[in-house]
Amino acid sequence: MQRRISLIPQPQHLADAGGETDLAALGAIVAPDPETTGLAWLLSDLLARGTGLRLSVQAAYDGPAVRLRLEGPRPADLTTEAEAYRLRIEEGGVDLTAAHPDGIARGIATLRQLLPAGALRAAPAARPVVPRVAIEDAPRLRWRSVHVDVARHFQSKDFVLAMIDRAWLHRLNVVHLHLTDDQGWRVEVPARPKLTETASWRTETVVGHALAEAGFDGTPHGGYYTLEDLREIVAYGRERHIMIVPEINLPGHTRAVLAAYPELGTGHGKGVATTFGVFEEVLEPTEASLAFARDVFTAVAEVFDAPFIHIGGDEVPTAQWERSPVAAELMEREGIAEVRGVQAWFTRAFVEQVTALGRRVIGWDEILDGGAPTEAVVGVWRNEAYVKKAADAGHQVIASPEPYAYFDHYQSESADEPLSIHGLTPVEKVAAWEPVPPGVDPESLLGVQCQLWSEYMPFARDVEYRAFPRLAVFADVAWASPEARAASPVLERLEDHLMRLDALGIAYRPLEGPRPWQRGGTGTRGRFDRPFEEHPAE
């Protein structure tokens, strides 16, 4: 039988030795280093679940085995060297070696894809056989993340865990949780109880596209993660060597905050937003607003162990500050010439607060507009010109340029596509993305991120339709070298990969178009187009 080894992302070097190895002939999973014991048990669990094979984990064992070995000098965290691994599958067993446990985690993800797709099912549905190969692999980019917006539409904790597992399978290394926005606050902050009593709930949601004026659904929506939920999410990521980065979006996108604590704004809060867009309400630049931010960052730093906290900072209108005596007084006192500088004042304060908590700030690219401390990492979303702007200003960059990385965009021009915000980002466009823009020092580009803004994704299956299979293609763009991508175009590997998504029960978009129940139809979930223009190059 002709077999095809088809992996996403494509490894840097893959040699097919021919034949296959039956893991049932092996006696154990051997993990001599305590740092890999957890990964070894995770692999043992996954094999048991999908194939019925039960291998115990041992620190030492002489017979044929799956061996996880750390060797060589330890690279720093968040480097391509930390995630490099070698995977050799021979008649006598499986050898997975890396210099850092992160590399072992990535190698296990590859091993999962080498098993039959049925091994990804939740009960034994495949034999534990893998092709004999020699793989040497390392990512092209250090930071490869998926952003999940649980603010516009709250998603269950189980869905977040599932997305972490899917990130792992695709050798991503970060899940960015967009936890707060105008339409809802999703994280428990013990010092600020009204965030979960009030800011987490909205009375109803606009029906259809916010610009189509089709009324409201009259149905409350909301929810939040408790500190225990968040600890579980973080631990689930840690087990898979996936960093969970929390985003607290300030000082704009704060309608929900101001519904709970109107005194942080002008006092005329309009309630948690029930529709979508950019709203005028912002935090007033006061000590009370900074104290609020400190309480929130402190709570977040207690449950999230990532070395980064995302402070948002996108789409902050200045209209309120232009009218505000408090802002005028601040500008006078601090010598701020333009009202845009008020955001820069917030950004500096947030950087100080987050730094004091031992973490590093990430902010959306608008933080550049009034100037931001260079230690802040910039999440560039508007377009690639801002990647260069941020890098030239001395920042490290995570790029999620809207034309390629916004998976809330439409996936085709078909009238059958379900309601989406705007834009057109088909899977072919993602596949053609060159993630390092010309003229940008690759050292400044920490990596890339795909984004799943959820205004028009009320349920998990809606998120899955937008995420898959584009996320798989994105993972290839982020991980694989240009040479590997050219030698094996990702779209040629995608059909095989869909069997894995089927095994996982993911409601992905078939390549030929939506399934009947995924279509928008002619109702309020039907396609609505509005002109979309890319942000002009700066």
User: Interface residues with ligand ACM (CB under 6 A)?
Assistant: 314-315, 364, 381
Output the smallest distance, CB 407 to ligand ACM, in A: 12
Determine the Cα–Cα distance for residues 510 and 427; give it in Å rounded to an integer: 11
Give long-range contacts, CB 8 A cutoff, 24+ apart: 232-237.
232/157, 232/161, 233/157, 233/160, 233/161, 233/164, 233/177, 234/303, 234/304, 234/305, 234/306, 236/161, 236/164, 236/165, 237/164, 237/175
Q: Which residue has its beta carbon closest to ligand ACM?
A: 314
Question: Between residues 117 and 452, which has the closer beta carbon with respect to ligand ACM?
Answer: 452
Question: Between residues 149 and 476, which has the closer beta carbon with respect to ligand ACM?
Answer: 149
Residue among 218, 215, 217, 182 at smallest CA distance from 200 = 182
Strands (E), 344-486: 360-364, 377-380, 397-399, 445-452
Question: Between residues 160 and 316, which has the closer beta carbon with respect to ligand ACM?
Answer: 316
Question: Between residues 137 and 247, which has the closer beta carbon with respect to ligand ACM?
Answer: 247
Report DSSP state, residue 534. Answer: P
Question: Between residues 237 and 379, which has the closer beta carbon with respect to ligand ACM?
Answer: 379
Task: Tell me how crowded residue 261 is: count the other CB atoms within 10 A of its CB.
Answer: 20
Contacts of 307 (CB under 8 A, 6+ apart): 77, 358, 359, 360
Question: Between residues 346 and 381, which has the closer beta carbon with respect to ligand ACM?
Answer: 381
Strands (E), 207-364: 221-222, 243-247, 308-310, 360-364
Output the smallest distance, CB 314 to ligand ACM, in A: 4
Note whether 375 and 358 are within 8 A (CB): no
List residues bridging with 136 in a β-sheet. 13, 86
Output the smallest distance, CB 408 to ligand ACM, in A: 9
Output the smallest distance, CB 358 to ligand ACM, in A: 26
Determine the Cα–Cα distance for residues 69 and 56; give it in Å rounded to an integer: 16
Determine the Cα–Cα distance for residues 306 and 241; give it in Å rounded to an integer: 11
Output the smallest distance, CB 385 to ligand ACM, in A: 15
Output the smallest distance, CB 223 to ligand ACM, in A: 22
Output the smallest distance, CB 524 to ligand ACM, in A: 24
Output the smallest distance, CB 405 to ligand ACM, in A: 10
Question: Between residues 149 and 165, which has the closer beta carbon with respect to ligand ACM?
Answer: 149
Output the smallest distance, CB 79 to ligand ACM, in A: 27
Reply yes or no: is the peptide bond before residue 317 cis, omega within 30 of 0. Answer: no
Determine the Cα–Cα distance for residues 310 and 43; give it in Å rounded to an integer: 31
Question: What is the dihedral sign for C-alpha 58, 59, 63, 65?
Answer: positive
Question: Between residues 344 and 484, which has the closer beta carbon with respect to ligand ACM?
Answer: 344
Q: What DSSP line would sit under 498-521, residue for residue?
A: HHHHHHTT--PPPTT---GGGS-T
Question: Between residues 381 and 410, which has the closer beta carbon with respect to ligand ACM?
Answer: 381
